[in-house]
Amino acid sequence: MRWVRDLHGKTVIAMAGAAAAIGLLTAVLVIGLGLFNVSARQGHWPGVTWAMHSTFESSVAFRAPPDSEVPDNLDTPDMVALGAGHYKSACMECHGAPGVPRSATVQQMLPEPPSLALVSDHWSAPEMHWIIHNGIKMSGMPGWPAERTDDVWPLVAFLRAQKGMTPETWEAMVDDADGGCAVCHGPDGVSQNAQVPRLDILSEEYIAQSLAAYRDGTRDSGIMYEVMSQRPGASVERLARNFADVSPEGGAAEPSQLAEQGRALAFAEGGSQSVPACRACHGPWPAPINPAFPSLAGQHAPYLEQQLKLWREGNRGGGRAAELMFKAARDLTDAEIAALSAYYAERAPAKLSETKD
């Protein structure tokens, strides 16, 4: 504007000085003298709440992942059940659950943590994923306790399923009468949830090193880090021993064509030089195998696929043999991962050195 260009230089300097003085005075009143009331009993000044919430919504919409990243199995019962277990451990205290009201103290928070029963009416799956993984500044909403983003999706699945859920359904879903681990892993570690590993096929050494890695954060998982953060270090050996003492039961599945392709990969047959022989560390193998390696016989295929993709992407971590798996998985294609997972999932559940082809 011309009137701005016509201002005398000294006038501009004086105006800038006055603005700086006003800003300094405001800072002294608000920060130094405590003019701004930080009491949690008082709301924000008029207009501030609207401005902050509008900024929040725009920020989420701008940064949420694309719809193409939503997993195809998002709304399956297994994903919902896994998310429910984590929700009970990490979210229920502030947000309540079906039949579980928020406490009187939580209801005094500003902003008050909302009930999430209808959250899916307002936010899309990618937006919920971004909010859960990143948290929200100045709201009491923490970020996800891990860098991994894939294990956020089960919680998104549960939030989408929570609308209309009855207290009875909720209670059945998170029943921990058999111990806290049973919510996800089932009694004796024999999980029926394809997103959760069965523990009865694993050695005591492998379970112990995995739990320790979850506890110190070297194996990245927001779900398991939350669980292990609530358990004393002494519980690691006891849990590992209890689960390893269970004898696997069950027979092999009828071999599929996909599993046959996986067998060729596991045995390093067919001329592929990019994939080493998986069976040398995971069986079947004629000689005893190092118990620091996990048995895969009878493990759930979706869980195996997820882990192999994490190894391939370099996001898995944990265990002394991590570098071996990074190298072994880095050249696997999605099709090869699916075939290997099918091969091991169709084997009869067995401990490491008892795996049969």
pLDDT for the residue 2: 52
User: How sure is the predictor about 39, in pLDDT bands with cuts at 50, 70 and 90?
Assistant: confident
Calculate mean pLDDT across residues 288-304.
96
Region of poorest pLDDT, from 1-5, 14-18, 95-99, 225-229: 1-5
**Could you report the per-residue pLDDT of 157-192, keeping only the tens digit for each?**
999 999 999 999 999 999 887 778 999 999 899 999
What local confidence, expressed as pLDDT, does residue 274 receive?
Answer: 58
Average pLDDT over the chain reads: 90
What pLDDT sits at residue 275? 62
Spans of all domains in the chain: 68-173, 257-354
pLDDT of residue 311: 93
Most confident residue range from 2-6, 22-26, 116-120: 116-120
- pLDDT at position 59 is 96
Tell me the pLDDT tens digit for each residue of 128-152: 999 999 999 988 899 999 999 999 9
Q: CA 156 to CA 238: how far, in whole Å? A: 32
Distance CA 190, CA 200 (A): 6
Share of the chain above pLDDT 90, in %: 71
Q: Stretch 80-93: mean pLDDT, rounded?
A: 95
262 pLDDT higher than 60: yes
Mean pLDDT, range 225-230, rounded to an integer: 92
Q: Is the pLDDT of residue 246 over 60?
A: yes
Three-state SS annotation for 53-64: HHHHHHHHHHHC
Q: Which CA distances in Å does 86 have to 100, 107, 228? A: 16, 22, 12
Residue type, 251: G
Quick: pLDDT tens for 184-206.
Answer: 999 899 999 999 999 999 999 99
The average pLDDT across 235-247 equals 94
Whole-model pTM: value is: 0.88
Matching fold, domains 68-173 and 257-354: yes
CA-based angle 333:339:345, to the nearest 5?
A: 135
- What mean pLDDT is predicted for residues 3-8? 54
Could you count the other beta carbons within 10 Å of the beta carbon of residue 306?
19
Q: Is the pLDDT confidence value at 4 over 80?
A: no
Q: What pLDDT was estimated at residue 270?
A: 65
The CA distance from 337 to 309, in Å, is: 8
Percentage with pLDDT > 70 across the chain: 95
Q: How far is the C-alpha of 288 from the C-alpha of 286, rounded, in Å?
A: 7
Residues 254-278: what's their mean pLDDT? 84
Strand partners, 97: 100
Q: What is the pLDDT of residue 302?
A: 97
**Which is more confidently placed, 324 or 249?**
249
CA 198 to mean position of chain CA atoms? 18
- Average the pLDDT over 92-121 and give the result: 93
CB 43 within 8 A of CB 49: yes
Residue 65 vs residue 355, higher pLDDT: 65
Percentages helix, strand, coil for the chain (3-state, rounded to 5) are 55, 0, 45
Checking if the pLDDT of 1 tops 90, the result is no
Q: Is the pLDDT of residue 7 over 70?
A: no
Domain 68-173 fold:
Cytochrome Bc1 Complex; Chain D, domain 2 (1.10.760)
Q: Are 196 and 82 in contact (CB under 8 A)?
A: yes
Q: Which fold has domain 257-354?
A: Cytochrome Bc1 Complex; Chain D, domain 2 (1.10.760)
Query: Rounded CA gap, 313 and 325, in Å?
Result: 11
Does 64 have pLDDT greater than 80?
A: yes
> What pLDDT band is residue 6 in, cutting at 50, 70 and 90?
low
- 338 phi/psi in degrees, rounded to 5: -65, -40
pLDDT of residue 137: 92
Residue 272 has pLDDT above 70, yes or no: no
